[in-house]
Amino acid sequence: MKPFRTQRNARIHRRSIVSPYRCIRTDFPSLAMSFRRRLKGKEPPAGFEAIESTIEDFEAQMKDAVSEEHEGRRKNELGWRIHRIHWEKNRFVFDLMYKRKALSKELYDYLCREKICDQALISKWRKPGYENLCSLLSIQKSATNFGTASLCRVPMASRAPQQRLTPNVKTGCISCCSGDGIMGGPIWWNTPITEEVEAKMSKKRKADEAEADEDPAVAERIAALKREMAGGGADDGLD
How many Cβ atoms sit within 10 Å of the Cβ of residue 197? 19
Task: Check whether residue 66 and residue 96 sit in a common domain.
Answer: yes
In a domain, 118, yes or no: yes
pLDDT value at residue 81: 93
Task: Check whether residue 226 and residue 193 sit in a common domain.
Answer: no
Which residue type does 5 have? R
| pLDDT tens digits for range 47-88 | 999 999 999 999 999 989 888 887 778 888 889 999 999 999
How far are the Cα atoms of 6, 33, 116, 164 from residue 26, in angstroms, in the given order? Answer: 20, 12, 15, 30
Q: What domain range is 211 assigned to?
A: 205-233
In a domain, 102, yes or no: yes
Which of 62, 94, 126 represents a domain boundary (last residue)? 126
| pLDDT tens digits for range 152-188 | 999 998 888 888 899 999 999 999 998 887 788 999 9
Ranking 35-44, 95-104, 157-166, 211-220 by mean pLDDT, the lowest is 211-220
| pLDDT tens digits for range 109-152 | 999 998 899 999 999 999 999 999 999 999 998 877 788 889 99
pLDDT band (50, 70, 90) for residue 32? very low
Q: Where are the beta strands (DSSP E) in 119-195?
A: 173-175, 187-188
Task: Check whether residue 113 and residue 141 sit in a common domain.
Answer: no
Task: Check whether residue 83 and residue 119 sit in a common domain.
Answer: yes
How many Cβ atoms sit within 10 Å of the Cβ of residue 140? 12
Q: What's the structural domain count of the chain?
A: 3
Task: Check whether residue 40 and residue 119 sit in a common domain.
Answer: yes
In a domain, 58, yes or no: yes
pLDDT value at residue 195: 85
Task: Check whether residue 138 and residue 62 sit in a common domain.
Answer: no
Closest to 44 in 3D by CA, of 109, 100, 118: 109
In a domain, 1, yes or no: no
Task: Check whether residue 117 and residue 80 sit in a common domain.
Answer: yes
pLDDT value at residue 213: 55
